[in-house]
Amino acid sequence: MKLMYVVAPFALALAACQTTGSEMSASPDDALRAQLSGKTIAVNGAETHVNSDGSLSGAVQGTWTIEDGKYCRTIVAPKAWAGTQCQGVSFDGNQVTFTRPNGKTFTGMMK
């Protein structure tokens, strides 16, 4: 009987700590990935597709990931923009603003 008094509170405490997959919140990286994945971003009439498979197509060719809350892209074409860079991202309705490491920003419309 004494064992039940010891085990029962422990079991209740353990049960209270458990969560199901649906109760767990997504990480900020997952949330940002979901906001960008599958979208088309238009900047000055040029459209880039941020594909859900991690590729970029359209006006810009390359790949993308989300790392530590930043949009990281590796561009292979056009060559003038080639390279890897991680940028901050903010949203205002359908507008998305990317902030480069040097502080410069550019804004596009998300479709």
**Domains within the chain, CATH numbers bracketed:** 28-110 (2.40.128)
At residue 105 the predicted structure's pLDDT band, cuts being 50, 70 and 90, is very high
Q: Is the pTM of this model over 0.85?
A: no
Distance CA 22, CA 82 (A): 40
Residue 80 is encoded by which pair of tokens? Answer: 């003038």
Residue 16 has pLDDT above 70, yes or no: no
Whether the pLDDT of residue 6 is over 70: the answer is no
Instruction: Summarize pLDDT for 63-90 with one digit per residue, the tens.
Output: 999 999 999 999 999 999 999 999 999 9
Q: Which two tokens stand for residue 14?
A: 């353990």
> In which residue are the tokens 């603003």 written?
97
Judge contact between 96 and 111, C-beta under 8 A.
Answer: no
Mean pLDDT of the chain: 84
